[in-house]
């Protein structure tokens, strides 16, 4: 919505600038992502806010899911070789054939998803893939049904497409796990007044680590068929399964595979989030529609990085297994320290980078206020889970005092975080009201 305040704006040279509020798209995207402050100014993302908080207070930053370790040397060398071999100009819009073939092989090998390289589209990370797919597939005024909490790019992309977001909460269970509200899902999926045009499934789920099983995905697929909706998946944590369960690719569990559009990336698996190598997988006609949008976003990027990743993917099994082992070891340091907080409930994730700590029995503060207190007094910073929820939703209420902490950081940061949680636990044993708020 256009704001009424059209105060003249000036650049640093004193020249009058056009009213930026006349361009409504950026505002609708920022508003959907919760970036418009109460006074109408543009706020920083929660990741930027928490990084700044950690820097300002000298706290250990266990917030953003950015790995604290580098990619394996063989991947770096493969990219360097590609640069020396001359892969330094524009890559094909669909991505280099070598990368697309490597992705198709990896999906067949690891998840039994039978695809060809023609089904694969390179994207500048999974975020671009998700955005391009939403822009391509969602009709104006269409509804997206997604699970909450969610990655904060989802509502912005949906707003850009002129759609609306309906959410289904993934809620904590009494056993310390998480479970979607399937009754809410069934109601929303069958809503005759606002039927979903697209169902967005993030598995393994950020931030809970919840993994949708074959039965869950088949149920989602049946709902999509009944609503004539697309199923768009976000599978960036597919290789980071920490439990004895196995990631199920939704396209292999949903009967009508043609309506499934898969999005994933290499960044999390290979500790190379800055390379921004993602992909969309869909039948050629659908892939072409997504590519038509992507063409005018980045067109293409990272030519030598694509080649390097293609060469490394053929041997991905060894490093993926090593990365999982390393993550488990760091989780086994941080999660028990969080679980040692008397009165708090810390999740043991089945997959991904994060544990979610519920402090509600220890404080009246919301997660943002509590995170600020923990940073200043105890040198700990995470991501308030309500930042990944819609204001006023049942998920927002359920996670009111919950904070997400990442164990993908360096061993030194994870060790330091665990030590600080141990110190906090000792203080809570001395003073159970230590987190109630300012005295």
Span 292-337, pLDDT tens digits: 999 999 999 999 999 999 999 986 568 999 999 999 999 999 999 9
CA angle 420–423–426, rounded 5-degree value: 155
**196 closest CA partner among 232, 227, 168:** 227
Whether 13 is in a domain gets the answer no
pLDDT at 91 over 90: yes
Confidence (pLDDT) at 127 = 98
Confidence (pLDDT) at 204 = 98
Whether 132 is in a domain gets the answer yes
Q: What's the mean pLDDT when you consider all of the chain? A: 94
Residues 6+ apart with CB under 8 A from 419: 337
Same domain, 91 and 52: no
Give 344-398 pLDDT, tens digit per residue.
999 999 999 999 999 999 999 999 999 999 999 999 999 999 999 999 999 999 9
Q: How far apart are CA 385 and CA 367, in angstroms?
A: 7
pLDDT at 58 over 60: yes
Same domain, 193 and 220: yes
C-alpha separations of 360 from 175, 178, 209, 373 in Å:
16, 17, 20, 14
Same domain, 65 and 80: no
Confidence (pLDDT) at 369 = 98
Q: What are phi and psi of 276, to 5 degrees?
A: 55, 60
pLDDT at 4 over 70: no
Of the two residues 221 and 437, the one the predictor is more confident about is: 221
Give 23-54 pLDDT, tens digit per residue.
789 889 999 999 988 888 888 999 999 999 99
Q: How far apart are CA 268 and CA 127, in angstroms?
A: 13
Q: How far apart are CA 30 and CA 340, in angstroms?
A: 38
Q: Which of 269, 297, 314 is the C-terminal boundary of a domain? A: 314
Q: Which of 314, 346, 370 is the C-terminal boundary of a domain? A: 314
Same domain, 241 and 305: yes
* Mean pLDDT value of segment 187-214: 98
Per DSSP, 356 falls in state: E
pLDDT at 20 over 70: no
Q: Which of 314, 330, 355 is the C-terminal boundary of a domain? A: 314
Confidence (pLDDT) at 24 = 86
Q: How far apart are CA 237 and CA 207, in angstroms?
A: 11
Does residue 238 contact residue 279 with C-beta atoms inside 8 Å? Answer: no
Confidence (pLDDT) at 40 = 81
Same domain, 66 and 109: no
Peptide bond into 288 cis (omega under 30): no
pTM of the model: 0.93
Same domain, 279 and 354: no
Question: 153: domain range?
Answer: 73-314
Does residue 310 contact residue 96 with C-beta atoms inside 8 Å? Answer: yes
Confidence (pLDDT) at 314 = 83
């Amino acid at each position: 919505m256009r704001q009424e305040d059209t105060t003249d704006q000036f650049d640093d040279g004193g020249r009058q600038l056009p009213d930026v509020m006349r361009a409504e798209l950026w505002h609708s995207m920022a508003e959907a992502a919760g970036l418009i402050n109460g006074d109408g100014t543009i706020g920083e993302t929660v990741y930027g806010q928490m990084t700044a908080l950690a820097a300002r207070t000298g706290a250990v930053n266990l917030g953003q899911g950015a790995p604290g370790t580098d990619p394996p040397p063989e991947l770096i060398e493969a990219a360097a070789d590609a640069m020396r071999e001359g892969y330094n100009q524009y890559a094909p819009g669909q991505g280099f054939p070598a990368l697309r073939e490597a992705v198709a092989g990896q999906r067949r090998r690891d998840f039994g998803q039978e695809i060809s390289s023609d089904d694969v589209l390179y994207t500048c990370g999974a975020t671009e893939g998700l955005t391009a797919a939403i822009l391509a597939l969602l009709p104006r005024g269409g509804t997206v049904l997604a699970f909450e909490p969610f990655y904060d790019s989802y509502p912005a992309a949906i707003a850009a497409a002129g759609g609306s977001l309906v959410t289904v909460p993934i809620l904590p269970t009494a056993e310390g796990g998480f479970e979607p509200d399937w009754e809410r899902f069934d109601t929303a999926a069958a809503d005759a007044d606002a039927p979903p045009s697209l169902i967005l499934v993030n598995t393994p789920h950020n931030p809970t680590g919840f993994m949708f099983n074959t039965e869950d995905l088949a149920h989602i697929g049946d709902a999509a068929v009944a609503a004539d909706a697309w199923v768009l998946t976000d599978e960036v944590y597919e290789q980071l399964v920490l439990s004895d369960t196995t990631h199920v690719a939704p396209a292999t569990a949903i009967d009508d595979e043609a309506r499934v559009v898969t999005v994933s990336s290499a960044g999390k698996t290979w500790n190379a989030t800055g390379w921004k190598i993602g992909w969309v997988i869909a039948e050629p006609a659908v892939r072409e529609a997504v590519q038509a949008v992507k063409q005018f976003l980045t067109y293409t990027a990272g030519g030598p990085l694509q080649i390097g990743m293609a060469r490394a993917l053929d041997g991905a099994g060894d490093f993926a297994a090593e990365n999982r082992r390393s993550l488990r070891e760091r989780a086994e340091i941080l999660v028990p320290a969080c679980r040692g907080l008397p009165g708090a409930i810390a999740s043991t994730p089945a997959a991904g980078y994060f544990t979610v700590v519920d402090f509600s029995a220890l404080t009246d503060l919301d997660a943002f206020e509590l995170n600020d207190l923990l940073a200043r007094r105890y040198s700990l910073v995470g991501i308030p889970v309500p930042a990944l929820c819609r204001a006023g939703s049942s998920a927002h209420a359920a996670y009111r005092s919950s904070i997400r902490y990442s164990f993908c950081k360096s061993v030194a940061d994870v060790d330091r975080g665990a030590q600080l949680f141990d110190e906090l636990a000792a203080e809570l044993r001395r003073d159970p009201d230590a987190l109630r708020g300012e005295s």
